[in-house]
Amino acid sequence: MPDNHLIINREKIRPGEHKVVNFDIASLPTRTSISLPVHIYRADKPGPVLLLTGGLHGDEINGVEIIRRMIDSEDLIPDAGTVIAIPIVNIYGFIQNSRGLPDGKDINRSFPGLKKGGSLAKLLAYTLMKNIIPHIDYGIDFHTGGASRSNYPQIRVDLTNEKALELAKAFQPPIIINSRPIPKSFRSASYREGKNILVYETGESLRFDEFGISEAVNGTLRVMNFLDMKKTKCRSQETQIYNNSSWIRSSYAGLFSPAIRLGDSFKKKQLLGYINGAYGELHSKILAPKEGRVIGLNYCPVVNKGDAIIHYSYN
Ligand SMILES: [Zn+2]
């Protein structure tokens, strides 16, 4: 497709234009119509097409804020190529403070989606695959940890995918973790269409993580610079790349008290925290099974046996 003919949702976006295209998805039971606003910024000069998505999980608002700030500061106006930015993919979840759709379905397990006769999650997934993915070259999808489970800023990428790894390195997040694409996820469906989507994670659901938000804004600007879409001067920083990640689970029910913080590196057998009995009858130390780094931490002290409490990466 020639670069001067970008048509999305029957709207023509010409070089040098910024448009907000609204996809009509479906209405609420109140008949309030729900549309999906998509920002499209085109430079006069041809170049790559970069997609930014937030709120694929409706309660993961760091991604929404990352894209909102970049719209607000005009960071997304490229000197070459096109930026397509969708701050909130799961509008339904966003207004309900929930991860999935009102029926509990997860968009990120519903790809490539279905046009008719499927769930709302499949319809939203289909809308992205049909109308957006064919136009893009690369994407960055912003996520967060769960409720009371916070992630240290990280990009999850298949380390055997050289192109995706190159893009992840250009982003320069504090951490890159090897992660095979999850079946039916946005990343795996896009990869099948030959498009690489980076998955960025920071913080927890329903909370802003200021450090992770600014890391994401700077990382996105570095990617735009790397792709020759915009000249940006973000400070370079070091990225640590890890081949593996694993969760430490609680051996007992009780109160979890960490002795480390998100992002900390630790040695084998280092004290990582305690599980204490609520009635003073138990003190259990959690020791590091091997050398690694804390990439996710459970902030809810009340835990059951088997609960995931510390997510760590290692090589
Ligand atoms: Zn998510």
Distance 54 CA to ligand 1 centre (A): 9
Domain extents in the chain: 6-240, 243-314
Q: Are 213 and 143 in contact (CB under 8 A)?
A: no
Q: Quick one: DSSP state of residue 313? A: E
Q: Are 22 and 7 in contact (CB under 8 A)?
A: no
Distance 99 CA to ligand 1 centre (A): 8
Distance 228 CA to ligand 1 centre (A): 29
Burial of 226 (0-12, 13-18, 19+ CB in 10 A): middle
Q: What local confidence, expressed as pLDDT, does residue 1 receive? A: 47
Distance 58 CA to ligand 1 centre (A): 8
Quick one: which of 25, 6, 18 has its CA closest to 77? 18
Distance 294 CA to ligand 1 centre (A): 19
Distances in Å between the alpha carbon of 187 and those of 107, 122, 160, 281, 296?
12, 15, 15, 46, 21
Q: Are 159 and 243 in contact (CB under 8 A)?
A: yes
Q: What local confidence, expressed as pLDDT, does residue 4 receive? A: 73
Distance 255 CA to ligand 1 centre (A): 27
Q: What local confidence, expressed as pLDDT, does residue 282 receive? A: 83
CA distance 76 to 39: 9
Distance 267 CA to ligand 1 centre (A): 30
Distance 57 CA to ligand 1 centre (A): 5
CA distance 146 to 275: 21
Q: What local confidence, expressed as pLDDT, does residue 71 receive? A: 98
Q: Quick one: DSSP state of residue 257? A: E
Q: Could you count the other beta carbons within 10 Å of the beta carbon of residue 312? A: 25
Per CATH, the number for 6-240 is: 3.40.630.10
Distances in Å between the alpha carbon of 73 and those of 67, 76, 210, 287?
10, 8, 16, 45
The domain defined by 243-314 carries CATH number 2.40.50.100: yes
CA distance 198 to 129: 16
Distance 110 CA to ligand 1 centre (A): 13
Residues with CB under 5 A from ligand 1 (ion): 57, 60, 143
Q: What is the pLDDT of residues 215-263, one digit of tens each?
A: 999 999 999 999 999 998 889 999 999 999 999 999 999 999 999 999 9
Distance 175 CA to ligand 1 centre (A): 17
256 phi/psi in degrees, rounded to 5: -90, 125
Q: What local confidence, expressed as pLDDT, does residue 5 receive? A: 79
Distance 144 CA to ligand 1 centre (A): 5
Distances in Å between the alpha carbon of 236 and those of 140, 241, 311?
19, 16, 26
Q: Flag residues of the chain having pLDDT under 50.
A: 1
CA distance 179 to 160: 10
